[in-house]
Amino acid sequence: MKKLLTTVIVFLTVLQFSLGQVTFEKYYGYGGFNPQSNTAPVLINSKDSGYFLFSWNADSGSSTVSNFWLALSRLDKDGKIVWSKTSDKYTENNTWAYGSANMLYDSSFFIGWNQGDGVGLSYGGLIHLDKTGNCLWAKRYYLPYDTSLFVPAIFINAIQRTHDNGALIIGEYHSEHSDSTSMFLMRVDSAGNIKWCKGYYPVGITDVSATNINVISNNSCIVDFSAVDTSLGWSYGCLMKIDSNGVPLWTRRYYPWFPEWASSQVVNNNIYTVGFYTDTANFTYNNYAAVLKTNNIGIPQSCDYDTTLNMTYSGTVYGGLSENNGTLISGDSGMNANSFIAKIDNGGNFRWAYKYNKVDSLIISNLALGLDSSVIGFGWNEKPNSEATWGIVKTNKIGVDSCNTPTAFNMVHLNIKSQATTVATVLIKLIVKDTVLNFHVAPVDTLTVCEGHYIVDAGINNLSTNTYQIKVYPNPSNGVFNLQFSHPELVSGSHITVYNVLGSKLYDNVMLNPPAGGQHDYQINLDSESRGIYFYRITSEKGEQLGSGKLVVE
C-alpha cells in the first residue's frame, strides 16, 4: 500500500510550550545559609501547573546558637519565582528544624516543624498557611516535663491531610521515663486541635524511627518505620496499618536487612514500598535500591533490587513514588556522587534511569509528578558553590531532560520474608500552645543550570523558543526521515542526535559546513531500529538547543 507522504511544518514559538514539557534544573537559595544545618525541602504541585517550595533553613551564629526560619516560594510552571516569603527567625541554643508539608483541599497548607531548647527538650509544631503564604495559625505540641531521669522529646516526621481537612501526623518520641525512641501518631482537626495521640511499641524491637505515612480510605493509613531487634541488634524495615481511631490492624517486619524505608504508596489495593537493601555478605554493607510489593495486609508478593548502582555505605534511597504502571525511585550513590531517578515497572523490570549532578553534590530527596505527567525530583546541594541551596530537576515522563546522564539498573529478585509483630499502644497526653509566626517578603537567589529544553511527547514535531521552521517528512515513515530547517546558530560542529523512549542515544551526527543562516537538508536513517517513537534534538556548536521533535517508525 502506498504510504501517504505527510509534511509537518511547525512554527517554533513560545506560545506552543503547552504542547510539550518544559524541563529544567534549577537551584534556589535564601542567603546566609549554614549548609550543614539545612534540611530537605518539600515541593507541592499547585492547581495551575506551578509549584510551592517549602524549606526550613538555619544559619549558625556560633557553635551553639542558630537562627532558623521557614521559607516559602511560589514558582511558575517553568520553575521561575513568582513570590517568596520567609518567617521570623528564632534563636535558641542548639535549635534545629525539620519539616513536612501537605496541601489541603482548599489549597491552604499544613507545615510541620520541630525545635529544641538546647538541653534535650524538643517539641513539634504545626503551621497553617493560606495559598499566598500568610500564617493563619501556628501551634506547638510537647510532652509534660519534670525533673525525672530523661528529658521528653517529640519529633514530627511527616504529615498527611485527612478527608475532613484535618491531618494525621507521624513522628518519634521518648518519654521522661525511657530513653528508647518510640513512634507516635496524632490526629488533629482543621484548627490543629488534637483529636487523639497514641504511642506504639512493637514487641521485641526498639528505637523505632517513623519515616512516612500514607492516608487511604476512611482516614486509615499505612505507616513506614524502621526498628532495631533488641536480641540481634539488626535493623528492620516495617509496615503498619492503623485505622481512623489509631488502632493497629496489622504490623509486619521484613528481612533480610532493610534498615529503612523511604516511602510507600497504595496502588490498586497493593502496597509498593521503596527503600534500600543492605547486603551484609562479607561485611560489605553495600546499599542497593529496592522495591517491595505486598498485598493489602502486608504479605510480600515480590521484591526486586538493583545490583548495578552500588550506593556504598553512605548512599541511600531517599524517595519513592508509585503509580499504576510502576514505581519511581530517587537517591544518591554515595558521598559527592550523582543523584539518580529510576523507573521500575510493576513486574520488577527496569525501565529507565538517569543521573543528575550539575552543581556539586545534588541530593534528590523526593519525587513528585507534575500535572503534565512530568517527573520532578527535588532536594538540596550538600556542597553548594553559591547561595543556591535547594535543587529541582524537572524531566519529561520518561526521565529525559537536557542535563542528565543515562544509566542502567539490573533488577534482581530477592526472596524477602516477613514476620507479624504485636504492637502495644498507649495514649499520649500532649500540651498544646498557640504561637505566633510572621512572614515577610524576601528575595531569593536562583541559579539556572539547564533550562528551556522543550520535550515533545504529544504528536507535535518541534517546540522551541524561536520562530524558525522545521519540515519533517515523511513522518511516520519506514525509518528514513528528511529534515529541512534553518537557524542562524546552525554552524559547523552542530549536532543532530536521536534518542529512544528510554533516553538511550541511538544516533549522533556532527554537521559539516551547513549553509550559514540558510536552509539545510538532512536525512536521518533509522531503518535498522524497531517500530516505535524516537526523539531528535538539534544543538548548536555550543550545546544550545535549536530544535527538537518526535519521529515515528512504522
Nearest alpha-carbon partner for 520 in 543, 500, 542, 540: 540
pLDDT at 353: 82
Regarding predicted confidence, which is higher, 22 or 126? Answer: 126
Domains of the chain: total: 1
**Is position 548 within any domain?**
yes
Pairing of strands 221-229, 205-215: antiparallel
Task: Report the candidate in 289, 285, 233 with the shortest Cα–Cα distance to residue 263.
Answer: 289
HEC string of 171-210 equals: EEEECCCCCCCEEEEEEECCCCCEEEEEEEEECCEEEEEE
Confidence band (pLDDT; 50, 70, 90) for 521? confident
Structure confidence by residue, pLDDT tens digits, 247-298? 999 999 998 767 677 788 888 889 999 888 777 665 566 778 888 999 999 9
Residue 129 in domain: no
Residue 372 lies in a domain: no
Rounded Cα–Cα distance for residues 246 and 189 (Å) = 14
The Cα 229–Cα 208 span in angstroms is 10
Q: State residue 62's pLDDT score.
A: 45
State the cell numbers at 452.
Answer: 528551556
- Binned at pLDDT 50, 70 and 90, residue 142 comes out as confident
Assign 542 a pLDDT band (cuts: 50, 70, 90): low
The string over 54-86, giving b where at least 16 C-beta atoms fall within 10 Å of a residue's C-beta and e elsewhere, is bbbbbbeeeeeebbbbbbbbbbebbbebeebbb
Instruction: Tell me the residue range of the domain where 544 lies.
Output: 456-553
pLDDT digits over 284-342, tens only?
Answer: 667 788 889 999 999 999 998 888 766 554 456 777 788 778 888 887 765 445 678 88
How far apart are the C-alpha atoms of 168 and 159, rounded to whole Å? 6
Residue 491 lies in a domain: yes
Q: What is the pTM of this model?
A: 0.74
For residue 506, give Cα distances in angstroms to 58, 247, 384, 398, 496: 46, 55, 34, 16, 11
Residues in the chain: 554
Q: Is residue 530 part of a domain?
A: yes
What local confidence, expressed as pLDDT, does residue 16 receive? 30
Residue 524 lies in a domain: yes
Within a domain: residue 536? yes
CATH number of the domain bearing residue 470: 2.60.40.1930
**Distance separating alpha carbons of residues 439 and 157, to the nearest angstrom:** 23
Those residues whose C-beta lies under 8 Å from the C-beta of residue 482, and which sit 6 or more positions away, are: 471, 472, 473, 474, 521, 522, 523
Instruction: Please identify which residue in the block is written with the cell numbers 526550613.
Output: 56
- The pLDDT tens digits of the residues spanning 68-107 come to 778 888 988 888 888 888 887 765 544 455 568 888 888 8
Residue 141 lies in a domain: no
